[in-house]
Amino acid sequence: MTQLTINTFLNFTAQELNVPIQNLHEQITFKNIPTWSSLNALLYLARIHNETGVLLSSTELSELNTLRDLFDQIISKQHGV
């Protein structure tokens, strides 16, 4: 990902989870995305780490609900918060 914005994050997520971008928005509960599974979650976390340098645990992920929550967590960790 280039500079991380909510739009680049949504596009990234659409690609990684193989869903049309028009089906995603920042308030969607990512666990309700049809292609979401425990295996895809692990792959998604690995890709987030590769693209952003942010390492999220599965525990952290389980505490989040929406794509916006996940985006905010990534931004927060990028800034050392």
Domain range summary for the chain, segments of one domain joined by +? 6-78
**Cα dist from 49 to 20, 59, 70, whole Å:** 22, 15, 13
Q: What are the residues whose beta carbons fall under 8 Å from the beta carbon of 63, sequence distance 6 or more?
A: none
Which pLDDT score is estimated for 79? 86
> Residue 3 — pLDDT band, cuts 50, 70, 90?
confident
Q: What average pLDDT does the chain have?
A: 93
Question: 6-78 has which fold?
Answer: 1.10.1200
- Residue 2: the pLDDT is 56
pLDDT digits (tens, 9 = 90+) for 19-54: 999 999 999 999 999 999 999 999 999 999 999 999
The pLDDT score that the predictor gives to residue 10 is 97
Per-residue pLDDT, 77: 93
